[in-house]
Amino acid sequence: MAYNLIFPPPGLKEMSKYKIVMKKGLLIVALAAVAGGLTAWIVAKSAMPETAGSITQVVGDSQYRTVNLSLDNYPDFTYAAESAIDAVVYVKVVSREMSRQAPSIFDFFFGYGGTPQERERVGSGSGVIIRQDGYIVTNNHVIEGATDIEVTLTNNKTFKAELIGADPATDVALIKVDAQGLPVIPFGDSDKLRLGEWVLAIGSPYNLRSTVTAGIVSAKGRSIPDNSREFKIESFIQTDAAVNPGNSGGALVDKAGNLVGINTAIVSQTGAYAGYSFAVPVNIVKRIVDDLMDFGSVRRAVLGVVMSPITQEIADKLKLSSLNGVYIVEVSPGSAAEQAGVKKEDVLVKIDSVQVTNASSVQEMVSGFYPGDKATLTVIRGGKEKELEVTFKGTAQENGTVTEDGSVAFYGSAIKEASKETKERLGIKSGVEIVSVGPGKIMDAGVTEGFVILYVNDQLVSKPQDVINIIKKSKRAVFIEGLTSYGKVSYFGFGI
C-alpha cells in the first residue's frame, strides 16, 4: 500500500527545526565575536597614543626615502640624523697673540725689552647652519678671541667665516660664510620639549666629524654652578646624549629633525662626558640671533631683582600655600622692578599669566622681552596676590657709562686708565687701556685687548673721560693712535 507523504513525519520536522536553530545560534555567536573583537580594537586604539606615521624625503631628482615613525619601529632616529647632519659644520678657530722673548745681552745694552714673537693657538668646535645664505650659530666660547674662523661642511668644502656678533650672557655667537644654497636645520620649539623625549646631539667631538649621539631630555630650565660672577642667562636643556669637547656649538635636534638647542657644556671632573650635557634652548637662540643680525648686539630686557628659590622655611614664614614661584631677595634701585612696585620679600609667581617655577624660568621669560616692552607681574605680598605692570629696561650701555668694575663703556668695549705696570712696561707716562673687546666698532676695527690709546684725533688722553669727551665733539670720524700690548705703534679709525 502506497502513501503520499505531503508533510514530513513528526520526527523529520523536529529535526529540521533543530538544524535551523543551530544555524541561527552559530551565526549569532560569530556576529558577537566579531563585534567584541571590533569593540576591543576600538578601545585599545583610543587608549594608544597617536603614531607619528611616516616621513618621505626627496633625496635626488627621482629618489625618495621614507622612514616609518610608527610605534612598531619606535624609536627610529634615521630621519632626524640624516636630514640634520649636513647642516652641522666643523668650526676651526685660530687666535694669535704677541709675546716677548727674554731679552738678550744685545737687547739689554740697547734698551730693548726682548723680541716680539707671535704665538698661534688653534681650537675647534661645531656650528649649525640656520640660513641658506651662510648664517651659522655656534657658541661664544668657541670663537672668543679668534683672529681667524674657518668653517668646513660635511662635503669638505671650506669657507672663511666672519663674526657677526656674540652674546657671552647666553654663550651664543653668530658667524657667516660667503655661500648660497646651504642645507639648514628648521627651528623647533624648545618650550614644547617634554621630559623623557628623545633627542640627538650632532657635532665634531675630538675632531670626529659629523658624530651623532642619542639621549633623552633629562631636565629643563637647568642652571650650572658658576663662580665667575659674570652676568649669565641660564635655562639649559639637560640631556644624557653624549657630548664631548668639540661638540660645543653643535645641534640638539628632536626625532623629527628640528633644531631644539645648541650644545654648550658638560659637567665633568675629567673634562670628558660624564653622563650630563647641556644645551641652550632654541627659543633663546632665535631671540639672540635676530638681534645679532639686526643690530650686531643683543637688546636685552632687565627686571632688576635678586631671586632665590622658595624654601619650606620661607613658605612657613610668609604663610604660602605652595613652594611655587621665586622669593625676591633684593630689588635694584631705579630698576624696572622697583618702578613697577616690586618689593623685597615679595614672591613672584607669574609673568603675563605664565607660571614661574624657578629663577631660570624668570630669566628665560624676561629674555623674551625687549627694552620698553610691558608685562604683568603677579606677586604674593601679605598672603594676597597682587598684579603689577612693569616696563622693562635694557642693558645697553652708551659710551661713557661706568660699569661695575670701574671700566667705561666704549663702542661695545671697555676702557680704563692704563695701570702703573702697563705704563712702566710700555715706557709711557699716560694712556687709556682697552681692557675688553665686545661686538661693536672697536672689534670691527680689529683691535684687541691690551691696546693703549695715546691720542684721539691728535689730542693726548690720559683717562677714559678724555676719550669720551673728544668723541662727543667729533662730527664724522674718529682717529686713534696708540700702542699694542707688545709696544708696537698702531692706528685705527671708524666713522660715527
Kindly state the DSSP code that residue 467 receives in the 8-state scheme.
H
Give the pLDDT of residue 495. 77
**Whole-number Å distance between alpha carbons of 449 and 471:** 20
Give the pLDDT of residue 243. 92
Q: How do the pLDDT tens digits run along the chain, 496 residues long? A: 443 333 344 444 444 554 554 555 555 656 666 666 666 555 545 544 444 456 665 555 555 666 555 655 567 899 999 999 999 999 999 987 655 555 555 555 544 555 566 678 899 999 999 999 999 999 999 998 888 999 999 999 999 999 998 888 889 999 999 999 999 999 999 989 999 999 999 999 998 999 999 999 999 988 876 655 455 667 899 999 999 999 999 999 999 999 999 999 887 778 788 888 999 999 999 989 988 888 777 777 888 888 999 999 999 888 888 888 999 999 988 788 999 999 999 999 999 988 988 888 888 888 888 888 999 999 999 889 999 999 988 764 556 667 656 788 888 788 999 999 999 999 999 999 999 887 678 877 888 889 999 999 999 999 998 998 898 888 778 899 999 988 899 999 887 6
Would you say the C-alpha torsion 22, 24, 25, 27 has a positive or negative sign? positive
* Catalytic residue list contains 171: yes
Reading the block at residue 328, the C-alpha cell is 625676591
| CA-based nearest residue to 377, from 359, 353, 360 | 353
pTM summary value = 0.62
Please pick, among 83, 167, 171, 413, the residue that the annotation labels catalytic. 171
Kindly state the DSSP code that residue 206 receives in the 8-state scheme.
G
Please pick, among 248, 335, 361, 407, the residue that the annotation labels catalytic. 248
Give the pLDDT of residue 172. 93
* Beta carbons of 430 and 411 less than 8 angstroms apart: no
Give the pLDDT of residue 151. 97
Q: What is the DSSP string of 310-354?
A: --HHHHHHHT-SSS-SEEEEEE-TTSHHHHHT--TT-EEEEETTE
Give the pLDDT of residue 24. 56
Please pick, among 141, 210, 436, 444, the residue that the annotation labels catalytic. 141
